[in-house]
């Protein structure tokens, strides 16, 4: 890979004649329904909250608080709970394993820190994982028909093990694309699905197949049982010890679904800061992920968020990545994921030319049908270190600020059938700002490469988003959407993540944080609002005070809704109606003693 990348420095951007550029709309057979993947996320935030200090945690950064965290997690029943960490430094000398319904929530990434010190052991810090056993999963069953991309019905030899609501994993043997075999990358092509219906010998599932399966490659399916409804929010994680060898993530997901990491700063990691295996619908928003101990890539060292082993329908948005080998990576059959409106800077690797590393990295073993939209990064690199990536990976309106968008060569089997629309390479100094593609049958339209339209005459590009109908919930009024690509000039606008980094005031965005308005009130007041994100209504609980009014205002301070309260009850249900669009708002609760304000995300499913 290193030799191939060095060749890029010898010339300007290169395009091969086999690339498709017939019109600006990507043909339907080349894309998947990322909107359905985005809307399939479903999480139940618990109402109960417990304080970690009630279990003996000190938060002094000296005493080992892992036993207290362990006890707090084990105390949580089936209804789930938020384990609240007040401001402090909580030392962990051994890992923790979350259970379903447990959320770790701090006072903010600038106030609450989890310090990981495992005495040089190459292990994960926080595990959100579930072993697949005979009791909670099944053996594989042969798929008889329904192999085609776009189908959401398959026919099996046996369906008795499957019920509505089950999760299942579809796999097949590796094909002739597997030019760099590895025992951990067998059966790379696959998909995690949720079953909607079972009738006779047929199964219907929520989101259609994102690639054609092959009857010759033994396609099969098994029931799986992922851990669900877990979260880590509003805190900082810092790894202190550096093992001599091996890896280990700060946060590890394995066989998980409908979980969230938001408003988290992850500082220094041995392996990938966050690793995701065999999982579905994991959301990462508003995080700041930066620095590692080593950057050689061995065992995922130097990575940010890494998706692998069929992980799909995950959402990585509005995050900041800094000084990593690869900030965002897909490999080993990861598919249907969305990486959107992130900012990544200072790529760094151990090899010569340290900055020649992919912030966005497609790293082989046939990851397919992933969407990269609206990101501002330094380099997009599709390499063949572990062989080719799969088809339909789509790059819409991304800006590469350093070397550009690069694909390495491979004489045996090259990555093909990728989509590149509306992207920018903005650096005009040689050898930067390049657009070098290998393989064949790529779709290109409306790319602004150093102020040159690629293909020629495609400046009329108008596609805005491949998963949204309107601005994302974290968008603010001062930002243009979409910020990148035609009709805008090169580098004309920023996304919120880059602006947040440039401002340097708050690098994480914890959308559920509480703060007090101009009139101070008793700090013992507890305001709860759920669900958050909200769709059609929100439930509000405010202890100890009579509520006079509840208002929703936008980030410019304009009130959009005003709810008068005529009851002494402290529990309220607010109907959001049809006038408030998706976005980030403030929920303002006026009481006799003052005002309490809470950030609120509204995310309606249209």
Return the CATH number at 292.
2.160.20.10
Provide the number of structural domains found in the chain: 3
Q: How many angstroms separate the Cα of 494 from the Cα of each of 54, 344, 491?
A: 44, 12, 8
Bridge partners, 266 (sequence order): 237, 289
Average pLDDT over residues 113-118: 98
Does a structural domain hold residue 174? Answer: yes
**Of the candidates 202, 61, 231, which has an alpha carbon nearest to the alpha carbon of residue 143?**
202
β-pairing, 220-224 vs 141-145, is: antiparallel
Q: What is the pLDDT of residues 297-312, one digit of tens each?
A: 999 999 999 999 999 9
Tell me what pLDDT residue 390 has: 98
What kind and span of H or E run contains 75?
helix 66-75
**CA 407 vs CA 11, 172, 353, 362: distances in Å:** 14, 27, 17, 9
Tokens found for residue 40: 């399939």
Asked whether residue 508 is assigned to any structural domain, the reply reads: no
Q: What is the pTM of this model?
A: 0.86
User: What span, in angstroms and rounded, lies between the C-alpha atoms of 135 and 223?
Assistant: 11
Last residue of a domain, one of 224, 243, 269: 224
Is residue 476 situated within a structural domain?
Answer: no
Judgement on whether residues 538 and 557 belong to the same structural domain of the protein = yes
240 and 367 share one domain:
yes
Considering the domain architecture, whether residues 553 and 587 belong to the same structural domain is answered as: yes
User: Which of residues 207, 224, 241 is at a domain's end?
Assistant: 224
Supply the pLDDT for residue 16: 45
**404 and 327, same domain (yes or no):** yes
Residues 285 and 181 in one domain: no
Boundary of a domain, candidates 202, 224, 246: 224
Give the rounded distance of the alpha carbon of 103 from its chain centre: 17
- For the ranges 11-20, 183-192, 392-401, the lowest mean pLDDT is seen at 11-20
Indicate whether 15 pLDDT > 60.
no
Strand order in the sheet with 571-575: 527-530, 537-542, 571-575
- For residue 566, the model assigns a pLDDT of 57
Radius of gyration, alpha carbons of the chain: 24
Residue 203 DSSP SS3? strand
For residue 434, the enclosing domain spans 2-30+37-119+228-454
Q: What is the pLDDT of residue 289?
A: 98
What is the pLDDT confidence band of residue 517, given thresholds at 50, 70 and 90? Answer: very low
Residue 336: name the closest of 599, 152, 99, 576 by CA: 152
Could you give phi then psi for residue 299, rounded to 5 degrees? 60, 30
Residues 217 and 237 in one domain: no
Average the pLDDT over 252-263 and give the result: 97
Residue 575: exposure state from Cβ atoms within 10 A (0-12, 13-18, ≥19): exposed
Q: DSSP of 98-124, one letter per residue?
A: --TTEEEEES-TTTEEEEE--TT----
How buried is 524 (Cβ within 10 angstroms: 0-12 exposed, 13-18 middle, 19+ buried)? exposed
Per-residue pLDDT at 545: 62
Residue 504's pLDDT band, with cuts at 50, 70 and 90, is confident
How far is 301 from 202, CA to CA, in rounded Å? 43
Are residues 317 and 392 part of one domain? Answer: yes
Band (pLDDT 50/70/90 cuts) for residue 511 is low
- Per-residue confidence (pLDDT) for residue 2, from 0 to 100: 54
For residue 421, list its beta bridge partners.
396, 445
pLDDT exceeds cutoff 70 at 115 = yes
The torsion region of residue 146 among left (phi > 0), alpha (psi -120 to 50) and beta comes to: left
CATH for 176: 2.40.30
d(CA 391, CA 472): 26
Looking at the structure, do residues 428 and 539 belong to the same domain, yes or no? no
431: preceding bond cis by omega (within 30 degrees): yes
pLDDT averaged over every residue in the chain: 90
Same structural domain, 205 and 232: no
Q: Give a yes or no: residue 128 inside a domain.
A: no
Are 556 and 583 found together in one domain? yes
Q: Tell me the per-residue pLDDT of 44-79, one tens digit each, with 9 for 90 and over.
A: 888 899 999 999 999 999 999 999 999 999 999 999
Mean pLDDT of all residues in 334-354: 98
Helices (H), 93-224: none
On whether residue 93 sits in a domain, the answer given is yes
* Cα–Cα separations (whole angstroms), residue 102 to 48, 52, 67, 80, 522: 10, 13, 16, 6, 28
522 or 270, which is more confident?
A: 270
In a domain, 63, yes or no: yes
What phi, psi does 542 have (nearest 5°)?
Answer: -130, 120
- Rounded to 5°, angle at Cα 224 from 222 and 230: 160
More confident residue, 14 or 568: 568
Average pLDDT, stretch 311-335?
A: 98
Give the separation between CA 519 and CA 205, rounded to whole angstroms.
52
Task: Report whether 357 contacts 325 (CB < 8 A).
Answer: yes
Looking at the chain, the number of H-run helices and the number of E-run strands are 4, 46
Residues 206 and 310 in one domain: no
CA dist., res. 237 & res. 297, Å (int):
21
Cβ-Cβ contacts under 8 Å for 295 (sequence gap 6 or more): 301, 302, 324, 325, 348, 349, 350, 354, 357
What is the DSSP code string of 304-356? EEEEETT-BS-EEES-EEES-SEEEEE-TT-BS-EEES-EEE----SSSSTT-
**CA quadruple 385, 387, 388, 389: dihedral, nearest 10:** -70
Q: How far apart are CA 299 and CA 383, in angstroms?
A: 17
Output the pLDDT for position 3: 53
Residues 279 and 411 placed together within one structural domain of the fold:
yes
519-562 pLDDT per residue, tens: 333 344 567 777 777 777 888 877 666 677 788 877 555 566 77
**Does residue 489 form part of some domain?**
no
pLDDT tens, position by position, 441-476: 999 999 999 999 999 999 999 999 999 999 998 898
Higher pLDDT, 248 or 557: 248
DSSP category for residue 215: G
The neighbour count for residue 74, using CB atoms within 10 Å, is 10
pLDDT for 514 beyond 80: no
Respond yes or no on whether the N-terminal peptide bond of residue 166 is cis (omega within 30° of 0). no
Instruction: Give phi and psi for 372, each to the nearest 5.
Output: -120, 110
Q: Give the per-residue pLDDT at 12.
A: 45
pLDDT at 543: 65
Q: How long a stretch of residues is the chain?
A: 606
DSSP 3-state assignment of 47?
coil
Q: Which of the four pLDDT bands, split at 50, 70 and 90, describes residue 506?
A: confident
Look at residue 479 and tell me if it is in a domain.
no
The pLDDT tens digits of the residues spanning 392-424 come to: 999 999 999 999 999 999 999 999 999 999 999
CA distance 379 to 346: 10
189 falls in which pLDDT band (50, 70, 90)?
very high
């Amino acid at each position: 890979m290193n030799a191939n990348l060095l060749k890029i420095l010898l010339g300007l951007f290169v395009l091969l004649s086999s690339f498709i550029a017939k019109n600006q709309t990507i043909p339907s057979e080349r894309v998947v329904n990322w909107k359905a993947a985005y809307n399939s996320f479903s999480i139940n935030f618990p109402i109960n909250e417990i304080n970690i200090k009630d279990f003996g945690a000190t938060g002094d950064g000296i005493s080992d608080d892992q036993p207290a965290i362990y006890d707090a997690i084990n105390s949580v029943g089936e209804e789930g709970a938020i384990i609240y960490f007040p401001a402090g430094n909580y030392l962990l000398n051994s890992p923790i394993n979350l259970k379903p319904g447990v959320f770790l929530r701090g006072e903010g990434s600038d106030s609450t820190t989890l310090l990981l010190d495992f005495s040089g052991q190459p292990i994960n810090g926080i595990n959100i994982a579930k072993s697949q056993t005979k009791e909670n999963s099944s053996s594989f069953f042969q798929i008889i028909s329904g192999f085609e991309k776009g189908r959401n019905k398959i026919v099996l030899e046996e369906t008795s093990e499957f019920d509505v609501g089950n999760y299942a994993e579809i796999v097949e043997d590796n094909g002739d694309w597997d030019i760099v075999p590895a025992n951990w990358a067998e059966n790379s092509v696959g998909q995690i699905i949720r079953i909607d219906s079972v009738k006779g010998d047929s199964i219907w599932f929520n989101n259609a197949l994102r690639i054609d399966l092959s009857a010759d490659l033994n396609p099969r399916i098994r029931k799986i049982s992922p851990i669900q409804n877990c979260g880590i929010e509003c805190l900082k994680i810092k790894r202190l010890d550096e093992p001599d060898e091996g890896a280990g993530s700060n946060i590890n997901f394995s066989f998980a679904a409908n979980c969230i990491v938001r408003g988290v700063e992850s500082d220094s990691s041995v392996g990938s800061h966050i690793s995701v295996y065999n999982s579905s619908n994991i959301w990462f928003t508003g995080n700041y992920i930066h620095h590692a101990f080593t950057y050689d890539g061995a065992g995922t060292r130097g990575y940010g968020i890494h998706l692998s082993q069929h992980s799909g329908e995950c959402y990585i948005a509005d995050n900041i990545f800094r000084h990593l080998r690869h900030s965002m990576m897909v490999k080993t059959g990861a598919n249907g994921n969305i990486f959107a409106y992130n900012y990544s800077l200072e790529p760094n690797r151990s090899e010569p030319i340290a900055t020649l590393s992919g912030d966005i990295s497609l790293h082989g073993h046939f990851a397919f049908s992933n969407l990269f939209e609206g990101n501002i990064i330094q380099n997009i690199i599709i390499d063949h270190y572990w062989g080719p990536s799969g088809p339909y990976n789509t790059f819409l309106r991304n800006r590469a600020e350093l070397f550009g968008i690069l694909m390495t060569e491979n004489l045996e089997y090259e990555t093909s059938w990728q989509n590149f629309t509306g992207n920018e390479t903005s650096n005009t100094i040689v050898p930067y700002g390049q657009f070098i593609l290998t393989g064949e049958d790529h779709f290109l339209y409306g790319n602004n490469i150093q102020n040159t339209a690629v293909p020629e005459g495609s400046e009329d590009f108008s596609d805005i988003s491949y998963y949204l109908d309107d601005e994302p919930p974290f968008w603010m009024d001062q930002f243009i959407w979409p910020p990148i690509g035609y009709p805008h000039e090169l580098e004309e606008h920023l996304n919120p993540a880059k602006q947040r980094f440039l401002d340097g005031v708050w690098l994480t965005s914890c959308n559920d944080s509480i703060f007090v308005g101009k009139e101070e009130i008793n700090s013992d007041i507890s305001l709860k609002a759920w669900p958050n994100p909200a769709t059609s209504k929100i439930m509000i609980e405010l202890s100890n005070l009579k509520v006079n009014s509840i208002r929703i205002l936008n980030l410019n301070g304009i009130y959009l809704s005003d709810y008068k309260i005529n009851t002494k009850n402290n529990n309220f249900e607010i109907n959001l109606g049809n006038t408030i669009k998706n976005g980030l708002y403030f929920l303002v609760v006026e009481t006799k003693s003052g005002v309490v304000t809470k950030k609120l995300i509204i995310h309606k499913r249209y």
